[in-house]
Amino acid sequence: MKKYLLPSIRITLVFTVILCVLYPLFISFAAKLSKGQGSGEKLELNGKVVGYKQLGQSFNKPQYFWGRPSAVNYNAAGSGGSNKGPTNADYLKEVNNRVDTLLKYHHGLQKSDIPAELITASGSGLDPNISVEGAKIQAKRIAQYRQIPLSKVMKLIDVQTEQPLLGLFGPSKINVLSLNIALDQISK
């Protein structure tokens, strides 16, 4: 019994030190090297913090770009999805309401042209990004409500587009909060 008990205790202690002390220290050190020093990248407008780049926010006014819907009302303390399946009547009603809202504000838009991220909530409920297509679909509405040229809005979308990591990993995306801050700045 001693033959197995002492080595197992030693291994447990070694892995406890590695996984409970060294690994968290390494991650904390690496986070301090990132933007925001591990506290998240704060976005400011006129010297005032308006949000964090990594957290989605609710934008529902027609003069702003809309982000991905949230099943938790963008509550970072209660991150999570709705866990409703594609055959759930409540879920289907929510999705259809989102489709109807998009069609109401985007004349000429076809239901089949709506990107999924504009009508379905993310798994965390806090997704801060939309696809380039999701932003371009909204560009005409933004230009009309803000009374600025559509070409100016499209250029802003191009400037705000984040390319995949190393050009390989993941799709191109746009951070909705960053895009709306830039939109406010060009609309002045």
Would you say residue 10 lies in a domain? yes
pLDDT, position 77: 77
Q: Which residues, in sequence order, are CB contacts of 92 under 8 Å at separation 6+? A: 86
Enclosing domain of residue 9: 1-33
Q: How confident is the model at residue 166 (pLDDT cuts 50, 70, 90)?
A: confident
One-letter amino acid for residue 139 of the chain: A
108-156, pLDDT tens digit by residue? 888 888 998 889 887 777 888 999 999 999 999 999 999 999 999 999 9
Are 60 and 107 within one domain? yes
Direct distance between the N- and C-terminal alpha carbons of the chain, in angstroms, rounded to an integer:
77
The answer to whether 72 and 127 have CB atoms below 8 angstroms apart is no
The answer to whether 53 and 178 have CB atoms below 8 angstroms apart is yes
Whether the predicted pLDDT of 38 surpasses 70: no
Closest CA to 58 of 105, 123, 121: 121
Whether the predicted pLDDT of 39 surpasses 70: no
49-95, pLDDT tens digit by residue? 777 778 888 888 999 999 888 888 887 777 777 778 888 898 889 88
Bridge pairing between strands 129-130 and 48-52: unpaired
Are 17 and 59 within one domain? no
Are 22 and 51 within one domain? no
Q: Whole-angstrom Cα distance, residue 96 to residue 119?
A: 8
Closest CA to 73 of 121, 129, 41: 121
* R_g over Cα of the chain: 22
pLDDT, position 107: 85
Are 162 and 69 within one domain? yes
- The count of structural domains within the chain is 2
Are 13 and 53 within one domain? no
Q: Whole-angstrom Cα distance, residue 68 to residue 114?
A: 12
Are 95 and 177 within one domain? yes
